[in-house]
Structure 1
Amino acid sequence: MPVVVVGNVTVGGTGKTPFVIALVNALLAQGVKPGVVSRGYGAQGLKAPREVTPGSDPIMVGDEPLLIARKTGVPVVVSPKRPDAVRCLLGNSSVDLIISDDGLQHYALGRDREIVLIDAVRALGNGHCLPAGPLRDPPSRLATVDHTLFRGGTNADTGFSYQLDLLTQLTTGEQRTPSPAALGDAVHAVAGIGQPEQFFAQLRATGFEVIAYSYPDHHKFQASDFASMDDRPIIMTEKDAVKCAAFADARMWSLSISTRVPDVVVDDILELSAESHTKV
């Protein structure tokens, strides 16, 4: 079973989960059925593999795996040990290949392709590994991966960027175009992601006057986090929104984003899948 790892060599968010969602959907459109495995960071009491469904509790499976399951509909399994997640997935689902959301440094899991995402602006920082710099691996690691892609890059083969799609009201499901005309000029913006300032910058670029609230990545939101905010609309990422459904109110909107995976990457993964099943 071919395995594709989508990861990074830097700390902080580089948009792996939205990229995985885009890659899965691109493969589905070509008739390939992927399954996804993830660490399930933040999942409560996670010691063995857990299957993730669109109705799963984010506290039990993690925010990112739940978002992947909801946005793609493919089998998703989380486990601290990714090989165990793969075995669970293969034992319960029929798939053509495995995509690992993160896990570049998780060498217990074999892989046939490695895709590394890098922020085009931040790049590799000072070029040093932790704790002296932002790198999980030395720069030389990039010479061994199959695809190095730059978020915000303009090259058709190596660049990708995110586009704002729709605002969705958390309690009613109503959808609107993300613009001040839809919600008003001033909004509260809430982000518990790796690079919250990028989220705020996107909203400002759309014309919103942003009252920003930053939280740690994978923050477990509670109703009290929003108690001091006035009646202005609250915009959050989809990743954060999955953790707020239980106490959502009329102020809360999630902002969906999308990206396009470079054709050269999709074609490579399609070829990998075809080769694998030809051998079988």
Structure 2
Amino acid sequence: MVLNKSKLPTLKKFYLYSLDNIYILNILLIPLSLIYITINFLKKNIQLKRRINTVPVIVIGNLTVGGTGKTSLVIWLCNYLTSRSYNVGVISGGYKTINPRNLEIVNGASTPSEVGDEAILISKKTKCIVCKCKDRKKAYEHLAKNYTLDAIISDDGLTHYKLNRNLNIVIVKETKPFGNGLVLPAGPLRELPSSIKYYENIIFNKNKKSNLKGFYYDVSNAISLIDSSEIDIFDISGTTVHLVTAIANPDLLIKDLERLNIDLITHIYPDHHLLNKDDFKFKDNYKVLMTEKDFVKCVNFKLENTYYLPTKIVVDNDIKIMLNDKLLDLLKV
């Protein structure tokens, strides 16, 4: 059972819901979608020029707005490469930061409002240099010039055509992968759905039991905000738990927790919302869960009975083989 206490504004909540369906609102927005498609086509043909990168660029992105697990796959790929002694840099767009166009290298003193929650999470989970800048070409040039790197991974940026890339990896959701099938703003797509055929490397963010080729989240333990002690997620099976999160697409996580027989009271905030202690004040003693991406905004919150779910994905062997072959050509892995 899920009791949904969404914190999204009503109009925004309806609009986001409409991205998976077609209502009168979506039909009315189609003329704006045609303008968007035209502008995107022109940008792609003007900006996407064949240039030789001094450091190979791998873009991990998606065709739709919202979360598909890009940052999780970036973290996995960074660790995959660094475990093979490759030096990797990462570009993060700095969405919803104070000055997204400011170029900043993430360090221990960086805050989510300065560099973004994704950038901090990547830096925390890998040994990679992470550069935050909305201008991804500028970030690439800074990393290539100032660091000795074997590869640069861009977290998102599939339609940032000024950034030349050597390898595109496209993540697709298992359920309603293209939403209502319409392009922004009438739908969630950044490109026409037919453009998927031009991308070779398609990876599904899927359910553990799915036969699709991709990855799934390993939801097996939770870590205390008080003392970093761990609990087995099965220990809270059959109980009622608050889920407080500000990620773009919490649906897969909610379904995973439901399958573990956890009764959820969900508190869904807009993506990148800066959580504060008031967001965790409840009139009961139920345990509280959040994602690790949420946790990087709450590291100084010493909250009793509150835990975060570590960002861990399991990648199918077929995908590992496919990526290894691609990286073999690109980096001489």
TM-score by length of 1: 0.90
CA distance in 2, matches of 1:120, 1:228: 34
1:194-273 maps to which residues of 2 (within 5 A)?
Answer: 194-261=248-315, 262-263=319-320, 264-273=322-331
TM-superposed CA distance for 1:221, in Å, is 0.6
Correspondence list, 1:72-111, <5 A: 72-111=126-165
Q: Which amino acid aligns with 1:110?
A: N
Structure 2 unaligned segments of length 5 or more: list them: 1-54
- Preserved CA contact (<8 Å) 1:168 1:254: yes
Equivalent in the alignment of 1:278: none
| Mapped contact 2:237–2:262 kept (Cα < 8 A) | no
1:164 is aligned, of 219, 222, 245, to 219
Cα distance change on mapping 1:108 and 1:229 into 2, 3 Å: farther
Whether the aligned pair in 1 keeps the contact of 2:98 and 2:113 (CA below 8 Å) is yes
The correspondence of residues 16-31 of structure 1 with structure 2, limited to 5 A, is: 16-31=70-85
Describe the superposition over 1:93-130 as per-residue Cα deviations: whole angstroms up to 9, x where unpaired.
32100000000011111101111101011122332212
User: How far apart are the structure 2 equivalents of 1:231 and 1:81?
Assistant: 45
Q: Which amino acid letter does the alignment assign opposite residue 64 of structure 1?
A: E
Alignment-derived partner of residue 228 in structure 2: 173
- Structure 1 141/241 Cα, relative in aligned 2: closer, same or farther at 3 Å? same
Q: Return the letter of the residue paired with 2:60.
A: V
1:62 counterpart = 2:120? no
Q: Aligned-pair distance for 1:151?
A: 1.4
Deviation readout 1:182-228 (Å, 9 max, x if unpaired)? 58712111111111232222212122221111111111111111123
Q: Closer, same or farther in 2 for the Cα pair 1:147/1:221, shift >3 Å? A: same
Distance (whole Å) between structure 2 residues aligned to residue 49 and residue 110 of structure 1: 18
Q: Distance in 2 between matches of 1:207 and 1:130?
A: 36
CA distance in 2, matches of 1:14, 1:255: 17
- Whole-Å separation in 1 of the counterparts to 2:60 and 2:76: 12
CA distance in 2, matches of 1:49, 1:162: 31
* In structure 1, distance between residues paired with 2:272 and 2:206: 23
Give the Cα–Cα distance (whole angstroms) in 2 for the partners of residues 32 and 131 of structure 1.
40
User: RMSD of aligned C-alpha atoms?
Assistant: 2.0
Mapped partners of 1:58, 1:270: distance in 2: 35
Partner SS for 1:257? coil
The structural deviation recorded for 1:10 is 1.0
Structure 1 alignment gaps of length 5 or more: 276-280
Deviations 1:65-115 (A, max 9, x none): 100110112110000101111222234432100000000011111101111
Counterparts of 2:283 and 2:124, CA distance in 1: 28
User: What corresponds to 2:178 in structure 1?
Assistant: 124
Give the TM-score normalised by structure 2: 0.77
Residues 237 and 220 of structure 1, relative CA distance in 2, 3 Å threshold: same
Looking at structure 2, the residues matched to 173 and 184 of structure 1 have their Cα atoms a distance apart, in angstroms, of 23
**Which deviates more from structure 2 when the two are superposed, residues 10-19 or residues 43-52?**
43-52
Rg comparison, structure with higher value? 2
CA distance in 1, matches of 2:86, 2:328: 8
Aligned to 2:90: 36
CA contact (8 A) 1:183 1:233 kept: no
Question: Bigger shift: 62-71 or 50-59?
Answer: 50-59
Count how many residue pairs are aligned between Structure 1 and Structure 2: 273
Per the alignment, residue 274 of structure 1 pairs with 332
The residue type equivalent to 1:171 in the other structure is I
Is 1:139 aligned to residue 193 of structure 2?
Answer: yes
